[in-house]
């Protein structure tokens, strides 16, 4: 589904990704871990199309399409959705309006018509209940005055509504207490499907206790130094990252 080949990315003149390769197939959950500054957020930002990241070489293909040739909104319409680490506030735009616009834009891109209002409301109510959020949040402006936990729940809520083909969640666990973590994890787990890929970028192993990945990759110094399964994450938790570096240097 997603193929990243030998990706080199420069940010403000400094090379952050130095030949990163990664393949995600439909139905798989991948986790990327690594020390700070390794380039974890850079990867998801580049795939999403954020400004300020220069791809100097390499490629990214999504379902056969060249992602780097696509506009930000086109990537999203194709089913590539990013869950932000620090979701931004958008005063004046109600949550319900953003959800509705995004959903209908996706549908339009697939050649479907707009979802009728009653159906939409029903869908939203369902998903809000799943995320244990209060319906009043719909009338509030996007992320305005939200706590960190509420913002993360909002990201997952959007995923549940928009049903992406590939969900990239950038440190979705940062700033969450145990209860919020559980709710968010349940939400992510409910997204698991045969035709869907999930990419988790995370700093801590704890999240992976709740969302058990199929593959774990260690990103160090702009490259994937080691790949494994869920076990690898636990090993990193107890041993840290240094041994991976040593191993790959050897």
Partner 1 sequence: MASQEMEQLVRRDYKEGFVTDIESDTLPPGLDEDVIAFISNKKGEPEWMLEWRLDAYRKWLKMTPPSWAHLDYPPIDYQAISYFSAPKRPEDRPQSLDEVDPKLLETYEKLGIPLHERAALAGVAVDAVFDSVSVTTTFKEKLAEAGVIFCSISEAVKEYPELVKQYLGSVVPQTDNYFAALNSAVFTDGSFVFVPKGVTCPMELSTYFRINAENTGQFERTLIICEEGAQVSYLEGCTAPMRDENQLHAAVVELVALDDAYIKYSTVQNWYPGDEDGKGGIYNFVTKRGDCRGDRSRISWTQVETGSAITWKYPSCVLRGKDSKGEFYSVAVTNGRQQADTGTKMIHIGEGSRSSIISKGISAGRSNQSYRGLVKIGPRAKGARNFTQCDSLLIGDKCGAHTFPYQEIGNSTATVEHEATTSKIGEDQLFYCQSRGISEEDAVSMIVNGFCKDVFQELPMEFAVEAEALLSVTLEGSVG
- State the residues that interact with partner 1 by CB under 8 A: 48-52, 71-73, 75-77, 81-82, 84, 87-94, 97-98, 101-102, 105-106, 109, 141-142, 158, 162
Angstrom CA distances, 225 to 126, 233, 242, stand at 41, 13, 11
Return the number of the residue (102 or 121) whose C-beta is nearest partner 1: 102
Q: What angle do CA 161, 164, 166 make, to 5 degrees?
A: 150
CB of 227 to partner 1, least distance (A): 27
Using CA atoms, how far apart are residues 175 and 149, in angstroms rounded to an integer? 6
CB of 106 to partner 1, least distance (A): 5
Using CA atoms, how far apart are residues 98 and 158, in angstroms rounded to an integer? 9
List all residues 6 or more positions away from 41 whose beta carbon is below 8 Å from its beta carbon. 85, 170, 171, 201
CB of 228 to partner 1, least distance (A): 30
Return the number of the residue (51 or 246) whose C-beta is nearest partner 1: 51
CB of 73 to partner 1, least distance (A): 5
Between the CA atoms of 83, 89, 92 and 96, what dihedral angle is there, to the nearest 10 degrees? 30
Provide the token pair at 4.
Answer: 């990243």
Return the number of the residue (18 or 94) whose C-beta is nearest partner 1: 94
Return the number of the residue (72 or 135) whose C-beta is nearest partner 1: 72
CB of 102 to partner 1, least distance (A): 4
CB of 223 to partner 1, least distance (A): 26
Return the number of the residue (67 or 76) whose C-beta is nearest partner 1: 76
Provide the token pair at 189.
Answer: 């787990």
Asked if 235 and 204 count as a contact pair (C-beta separation under 8 A), the reply is no
Using CA atoms, how far apart are residues 244 and 237, in angstroms rounded to an integer? 12
Taking only Cα atoms into account, the Rg of the chain, rounded to an integer number of angstroms, comes to 18
Return the number of the residue (40 or 215) whose C-beta is nearest partner 1: 40
């Amino acid at each position: 589904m997603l193929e990243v080949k030998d990706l080199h990315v420069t940010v403000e003149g400094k090379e952050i990704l130095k030949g990163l390769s990664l393949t995600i197939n439909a139905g798989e959950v991948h986790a990327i871990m690594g020390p700070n500054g390794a380039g974890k957020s850079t990867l998801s930002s580049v795939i999403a199309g954020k400004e300020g990241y220069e791809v100097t070489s390499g490629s990214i293909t999504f379902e056969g399409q060249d992602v780097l040739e696509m506009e930000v909104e086109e990537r999203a319409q194709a089913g590539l959705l990013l869950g932000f680490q620090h979701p931004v506030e958008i005063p004046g735009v109600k949550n319900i309006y953003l959800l509705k616009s995004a959903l209908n834009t996706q549908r339009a891109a697939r050649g479907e018509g707009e979802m009728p209002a009653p159906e939409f409301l029903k869908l939203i109510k369902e998903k809000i209940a799943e995320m244990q959020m209060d319906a009043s949040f719909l009338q509030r402006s996007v992320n305005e005055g939200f706590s960190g936990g509420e913002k993360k729940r909002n990201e997952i809520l959007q995923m549940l509504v928009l049903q992406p083909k590939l969900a990239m969640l950038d440190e979705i666990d940062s700033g969450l207490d145990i209860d919020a973590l559980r709710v968010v994890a349940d939400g992510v787990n409910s997204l698991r499907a045969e035709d869907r890929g999930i990419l988790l970028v995370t700093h801590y192993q704890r999240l992976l206790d709740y969302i058990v990945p199929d593959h774990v990759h260690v990103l160090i110094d702009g490259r994937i130094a080691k790949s494994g399964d869920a076990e690898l994450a636990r090993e990193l938790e107890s041993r840290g990252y240094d041994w991976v570096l040593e191993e790959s240097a050897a």
